[in-house]
Structure 1
Amino acid sequence: MIAMTSDMPEYLPLKVANALLPDAPALRAQMEQDGYLFLRGLLPPDVLHAVREDVTGVLQAIGWIRGGPDRLAAQAQVLPCREGEPRYFEAIDRIQRLESFHSLAHEPALLQLMTLLLGEGAFPHPLGVMRLVFPDNPEVTTPPHQDFRNNQGTPRLTAAWIPLADCPLDSGPLAILPGSHRSGVLPLSFHLGPGNRQAVLPEELATARWATADFCAGDVLLFPALTVHRALPNRHPSRMRLSVDFRYQPAGEPLTEQCLQPHFARQSWDEIYRGWRSPDLQYYWHKRHYTVVPWDASLHALPEEH
């Protein structure tokens, strides 16, 4: 059990799955039981450090964080902004053009793990998500939700949540409701956080214990599209939480067209690739096997009263 301060609840610890590597049946059984896999130290810290250098370079250039020796700490020096604001897109558009950001989804250790879990031909969606979480902005903390309604396609879609540095509880890591993937697709209601939607939890989930951990650089949390998850508030007095979401799917299974586009589709892939050092990962999904299915707007719609 993870002990909290008096104003924070108690959480279950995430089960560490490293001992199951490289046993594919054991990994799949654990995922089926709990709805997540938590791997300590899966990624090389120097690779994450390089991505964080590039991301904080963008944030410093637009004035969001302090420069100099404090840059990598991502110490915020502006008022928070939220997804959808022009100031937010000023940062996201530049980060979407970073080769290091997109390359992280293809790290060998991640691809090997996804092959064990999802089978040969498993691949990351080109849509990668950068999370820029300001301190002391709890109203827009990512609420409980499932990824299926936002992405659709195959329910076997599997997310990898990766902090770009150590992310202890007070910095707002992700939390999971173990076993929630067995509850089916849940209804939606409005929320101020990313996507403006949250899952409406049935009583057995609303009263269940969340599981989380103090994350270290290199740790990876995996979960399928029906697992309920949320972010904890970033309670650090000054540091932003920088993390990435990448999603992987088995070969041959369905996906929607938006999963083949850059996040928010504000730029073309040609614009994003301009200035990259290597063409190796450009349009890589053209060589992969999948089926494009229509987006079902009803799955993403809020009730009329919302």
Structure 2
Amino acid sequence: MPHSTASSSSTPLYVNDGLLSPDQVGYLQASFPHEPLEELRQRLERDGYLFLKGLIPRDDVLKAREDYFTYLAPSGVLAPGTLPVDGIFDDKNDRLDYPGMVSAGSTDANGRPRGGLFVDLALKAHAEPWYKDGFCKHPALHSFIAKITGWGDENTLGLTRSLLRNNTPHNKAIGVHYDQIFLRHGEDTSMTAWVPMGDIALDGGGLIYLENGHTLGQEIESGFYEKARQTGLTDEEAKNAFNKNMMGGGLIADGAKEFATAHARRWLVTDYQAGDVVLHTPYMIHASTINKDPKNVIRLGTDLRFVDSSRSYDKRWTNVYAFGDGV
């Protein structure tokens, strides 16, 4: 059965270009790690995603969330008197000074994201041992991906480069994209695990997935490469040309509402709990809603990419994420 909340039908969901209409919204189907493995594989292949409830122990996720906001607390992002694990934004702040990692937002004179110490700490957090060497290598996640893909423990490699993204209330949402755009220097066989690090309400800025978006992503990719071949471009020239035709940040579109209308497909949504994981394939089109959480909860999540190390993969992802690293 689809996973949703009791208030889902009346919860307004905003994206960068406005309010999603009811006919543009559907719900992610929940799966559970204990279900038969072959059924889960078939579901992943059919839908392009697998929304797994409780894959990682909740306490482990909340500890990582606590570590993260303890690390960012000196920036003044948290409301006074609140616990770091709760991640409550101090709404006395100018939200534009806390643009988070979802969007670069405005930039300073050096072309860096506006945000000062907040952005500096959010970037440095990617290399902290509790995150890079701990949470990103959680055995429950690694083990499940090794099984669901059939790669096995020996060949399942978690790429070092990850995107640890916070989304402060009312700032910009993630635009429309699919992950192969960023992993094009390797085979299209990678697996993304999006891990919400904490509970995320339906209107709290969580990821949304385009219904059958993996088939559309493949069509977009193959259509471009066919045009590239017809014009005589080499594979490398085609990769570069494709990337140059993306919007800023590698997006297909900034506005999820117009994109859904143009392609006559719904956005699949849900609320998330700490411990949930969404696996999605390289062509699965996704975005996010704007964080409108009424309690000012900061949305925190991470994109972890896994590959079969025995096959060709994008070696640019073997380094810790850094601002302006060109990937």
1:66 is matched with: 79
User: Structure 1 residue 13 and structure 2 residue 27: aligned?
Assistant: yes
1:95 maps to 2:129: no
Instruction: Tell me: CA distance 1:59–1:261, structure 2 relative to 1, closer, same or farther (3 Å).
Output: same
1:22–1:116 contact (8 Å) kept in structure 2 = no
Q: Which structure 2 residues correspond to residues 189-228 of structure 1 after superposition, within 5 A?
A: 189-190=246-247, 195=249, 197-199=251-253, 206-228=263-285
Aligned mates of 1:37, 1:203 — CA distance in 2? 21
Cα offsets for 1:138-162 (capped at 9, x unmatched): xx31011011111221212111111
Q: Determine the structure 2 residue equivalent to 1:111.
A: 142
Instruction: Give yes or no for contact 1:135–1:235 (8 Å, CA) kept in 2.
Output: yes
CA distance in 1 between partners of 2:10 and 2:194 (Å): 22
For residues 39 and 34 of structure 2, what CA distance do their matches in structure 1 show?
A: 6
Separation in structure 1 between the aligned mates of residue 274 and residue 305 of structure 2, nearest angstrom: 19
1:144 aligns with 2:183: no
The Cα of 1:94 is off from its aligned counterpart by 2.7
Which stretch shifts more, 60-69 or 80-89? 80-89
- Per-residue deviation at 1:189? 4.4
Q: Deviations over 1:58-99 (max 9, x none)?
A: 221122223443432222233232424152541223312322
Give 1:263-278 correspondences, 5 Å limit: 263-264=321-322
* Local SS of the residue matching 1:93: helix
- Report the aligned-residue RMSD: 2.7
Q: What is the distance in 1 between the residues matched to 2:260 and 2:169? A: 31
- Contact in 1 for aligned 2:177/2:250 (Cα 8 Å): no
The reply on whether 1:159 has 2:189 as its aligned counterpart is no
2:301 paired residue number? 243
Does the 8 Å contact 2:52/2:278 carry over to 1?
A: yes
Shift of 1:196: 5.7
| Letter matched to residue 195 of structure 2 | I
Partner Cα distance (2:174, 2:260) in 1:
20
CA distance in structure 2 between the partners assigned to 1:132 and 1:202 by the alignment: 24
Residues 45 and 218 of structure 1 are in contact (CA less than 8 Å); yes or no, is this contact kept in structure 2?
A: yes
Q: Give the structure, 1 or 2, with the largest relative contact order (CA under 8 Å, sep 6 or more).
A: 2
Amino acid at match of 1:135: P
For 1:265 and 1:202, locate their aligned partners in 2 and report how far apart those are by CA, in whole Å.
28
Deviation at 1:16, TM superposition (A): 1.6
Q: Give aligned pairs, total.
A: 263
Task: Look up the SS of the partner of 1:166 in the other structure.
Answer: coil
Query: Partner residue of 2:237?
Result: none
Task: Map Cα deviations across residues 103-144 of structure 1 (whole Å, 9 max, x no partner).
Answer: 22221211121011222121211112110111011xx31011
> Deviations 1:217-260 (Å, cap 9, x if unpaired)?
11111101100001111012422111111011123222223201
SS of the residue 1:258 aligns to: helix
1:125 aligned residue: 159
Alpha-carbon distance change, 225 to 71 in structure 1, aligned in 2, over 3 angstroms: same
The answer to which of 174-183 and 30-39 deviates more is 174-183
Matches of 1:171 and 1:266, distance apart in 2: 27
Question: 1:288 is matched with which residue?
Answer: none
Question: Partner residue of 1:275?
Answer: none
| SS of aligned partner of 2:303 | strand
SS of 1:154's equivalent?
A: coil
Q: Distance in 1 between matches of 2:163 and 2:33?
A: 29
Taking only the aligned residue pairs, the percentage that are identical comes to 22
Q: Offset at 1:41?
A: 0.9
1:1-52 deviation per Cα after TM superposition (whole angstroms, max 9, x unaligned): 74133655332221122166351x3222111100000111111111111111
Paired AA for residue 179 in structure 2: D
In structure 1, give the amino acid aligned to 2:251.
R
Indicate the SS of the match to 2:208: strand
Instruction: Report if aligned partners of 1:18, 1:40 keep a CA contact under 8 Å in 2.
Output: yes
State TM-score, norm by structure 2. 0.72
Note if 1:262 corresponds to 2:320. Answer: yes
Q: Is residue 159–residue 223 contact of structure 1 (8 Å, CA) maintained in 2?
A: yes
